[in-house]
Structure 1
Amino acid sequence: MESMENANAEKHYKLLVVAIIIGIFGVFIRFAGDENSAYFSWIANAALLIGTLIALKAVFAIMK
């Protein structure tokens, strides 16, 4: 039963929500930014990468 309690811990799902918000921010910046600006592309790529890493961390913590 210990594994089930770990999977249902609220902290994992809060971490997933944060990861999703960061990912949505990255997608928004990618499409809302000026097409000629490389800075928006860099920021969008970084946000998507960070969001993905946080989401993977949360998913693997749930599976653990």
Structure 2
Amino acid sequence: MESMENANAEKHYKLLVVAIAIGMVGVFLRFAGDENSTYFSWIANALLVLGVAIGLKGVFAIIK
């Protein structure tokens, strides 16, 4: 039963919400940034990778 309680812990879902928010900011910057600016592209890619990494950490914590 401990596994089921761990999977339903609120902290996992808060982490997923943060990951999704970071990923959405990355997507917004990708499309809102100037096409000629490489800085927006770098920042958007970094935020997307960060959001995916945090999201995967949350999903694997739920599965564990």
- Establish whether TM, by shorter chain, passes 0.5: yes
Structure 1 residue ranges, 4+ long, deviating more than 6 angstroms after superposition:
none
Q: What's the TM-score once normalised by structure 1's chain length?
A: 0.99
User: What is the alpha-carbon root mean square deviation over aligned residues?
Assistant: 0.2
Matched with 1:10 is: 10
Matched with 1:24 is: 24
- Uncovered stretches (5+) of structure 1, i.e. residues with no partner: none
- Uncovered stretches (5+) of structure 2, i.e. residues with no partner: none
Question: Which runs of structure 2 are paired with 1:1-64 in the superposition (5 Å)?
Answer: 1-64=1-64
Q: Which amino acid aligns with 1:34?
A: D
Aligned-residue sequence identity (percent) comes to 80
Number of residue-to-residue matches in the alignment? 64
Q: What's the TM-score once normalised by structure 2's chain length?
A: 0.99
